[in-house]
Amino acid sequence: MKNYLKLLRFIKGHKRVFFWAVFTMLVSSFFEVFQFSMIIPLIDRVINNNQIIPPNKLPDIAAKLIDLVNKTDRNKLLPVVISTFAIVMVLKNILVFFYQYLMGDVSQRIMRDVRYKIYEKIHSLSLDYFSKKRTGELISRITHDVNIIENAVSYAVTDLFRQTFTLIFWIVVALVIDAKAALVIFLIFPVIGIPMDRIGRKLRKISKGIQEKMADMNSLLLETISGAQVVKAFCTEDYENKRFYGQNHDYYKLRMKSIKRLIVMPPMTEVIGMIFGVLVMIWFIRRLMSQEISFGMFGYFMAAIMNLISPVKKLGNVNAITQQALAANDRIYEILDAQPSVKQKAQAAELKPISNSIKILNVYFRYQKEEEHVLKDISLEVKKGELVAIVGPTGVGKTTLVNLIPRFYDPTEGTVSIDGVDLRDVTFNSLRTQIGIVTQETILFNDTVRANICYGRRDASEAEVRQAAERAFAHDFVSKMTDGYNTKIGDRGFRLSGGEKQRIAIARAILLNPPILILDEATSQLDSESEKFVQEALDKLMEGRTVVAIAHRLSTIKKASKILVLEKGKIAGIGKHDELLKTCQLYEKLYRIQFQP
pLDDT for 118-129, tens place per residue?
Answer: 888 888 888 888
Residue 61 clears pLDDT 90, i.e. is over it: no
* pLDDT given at position 267: 75
- Phi, psi at residue 411, to the nearest 5°? -65, 145
Inter-CA distances, 10 with 14, 110, 156, 317, 384, Å: 8, 6, 14, 21, 50
Across the chain, mean pLDDT equals 81
Closest CA to 505 of 469, 539, 478, 460: 469
The alpha carbon torsion through 171, 173, 174, 180 (nearest 10 deg) reads 100
Residue 142 clears pLDDT 90, i.e. is over it: no
3-class DSSP state of 448 = strand
Contact indicator for 509, 543 with CB cutoff of 8 Å:
no
- Distance CA(438)–CA(364), nearest Å, equals 25
- Phi, psi at residue 258, to the nearest 5°? -65, -45
- Distance CA(457)–CA(439), nearest Å, equals 19
* pLDDT given at position 191: 66
Mean pLDDT, to the nearest integer, of 570-594?
86
Q: How confident is the model at residue 581 (pLDDT cuts 50, 70, 90)?
A: confident
Contact indicator for 366, 130 with CB cutoff of 8 Å:
no
The residue ranking higher by pLDDT, 205 or 270, is 205
For helices 158-177 and 15-36, the axis angle rounded to 10 degrees is: 30
Q: How confident is the model at residue 283 (pLDDT cuts 50, 70, 90)?
A: low
Burial class (CB in 10 A: 0-12, 13-18, 19+), 565: buried
The residue ranking higher by pLDDT, 91 or 526, is 91
Which CATH superfamily hosts domain 354-434+517-522+548-597? P-loop containing nucleotide triphosphate hydrolases (3.40.50.300)
* pLDDT given at position 425: 92
Mean pLDDT, to the nearest integer, of 230-249?
80
Contact indicator for 414, 359 with CB cutoff of 8 Å:
no
Mean pLDDT, to the nearest integer, of 569-579?
89
Q: How confident is the model at residue 284 (pLDDT cuts 50, 70, 90)?
A: low
Residue 527 clears pLDDT 70, i.e. is over it: no
| pLDDT tens, residue by residue, 291-345 | 667 777 777 777 777 777 778 777 777 777 777 777 788 888 888 888 888 888 8
Of the options 1.20.1090.10, 1.20.1560.10, 3.30.70.120, 3.90.1150.10, the CATH number for the domain spanning 2-212+262-336: 1.20.1560.10
* pLDDT given at position 93: 92
For residue 41, the 8-state DSSP code is: I
Contact indicator for 167, 160 with CB cutoff of 8 Å:
no
Residue 9 clears pLDDT 60, i.e. is over it: yes
Mean pLDDT, to the nearest integer, of 353-366?
91
pLDDT more than 70, % of the chain: 85
Which of 166-180, 360-374, 514-528 tops mean pLDDT? 360-374
Mean pLDDT, to the nearest integer, of 483-508?
82
Mean pLDDT, to the nearest integer, of 132-159?
80
Would the CATH topology of 2-212+262-336 be identical to that of 354-434+517-522+548-597?
A: no
Residue 176 clears pLDDT 70, i.e. is over it: yes
Q: What is the DSSP string of 243-311?
A: HHHHHHHHHHHHHHHHHHHHHHHHHHHHHHHHHHHHHHHHHHHHHHHTTSS-HHHHHHHHHHHHHHHHH
| pLDDT tens, residue by residue, 151-162 | 777 777 888 888
| pLDDT tens, residue by residue, 241-252 | 888 888 888 888
- Distance CA(444)–CA(167), nearest Å, equals 57
Residue 597 clears pLDDT 60, i.e. is over it: no
Mean pLDDT, to the nearest integer, of 37-63?
76
0.85 surpassed by pTM: no
Query: What residue type is 161 in one-letter code?
Result: F
Sign of the CA dihedral with 404 first, then 405, 408, and 410 last: positive
Residue 6 clears pLDDT 80, i.e. is over it: no
- Phi, psi at residue 372, to the nearest 5°? -75, 160
The residue ranking higher by pLDDT, 582 or 203, is 582
For β-strands 570-575 and 562-567, DSSP reports them as antiparallel
Contact indicator for 167, 306 with CB cutoff of 8 Å:
no
Query: What residue type is 200 in one-letter code?
Result: G
| pLDDT tens, residue by residue, 96-117 | 999 989 988 888 888 888 888 8
| pLDDT tens, residue by residue, 444-479 | 888 888 988 888 788 888 898 898 888 888 888 888
Q: Where are the beta strands (DSSP E) in 460-532?
A: 516-520
Mean pLDDT, to the nearest integer, of 124-149?
81
* pLDDT given at position 514: 86
Lowest pLDDT segment from 272-281, 358-367, 519-528: 519-528
Q: How confident is the model at residue 414 (pLDDT cuts 50, 70, 90)?
A: very high
Mean pLDDT, to the nearest integer, of 421-427?
92
CB atoms within 10 A of CB 371: 8
Euclidean distance between the first and the last CA atom of the chain, given in angstroms as a whole number: 70
Sign of the CA dihedral with 54 first, then 57, 60, and 61 last: negative
532 Cβ contact list (under 8 Å, min separation 6) = none
Answer whether CATH 3.40.50.300 is correct for domain 437-513: yes
The domain limits of the chain are 2-212+262-336, 354-434+517-522+548-597, 437-513
Closest CA to 310 of 6, 32, 592: 32
- Distance CA(224)–CA(441), nearest Å, equals 18
54 Cβ contact list (under 8 Å, min separation 6) = 62, 63, 66, 294, 297
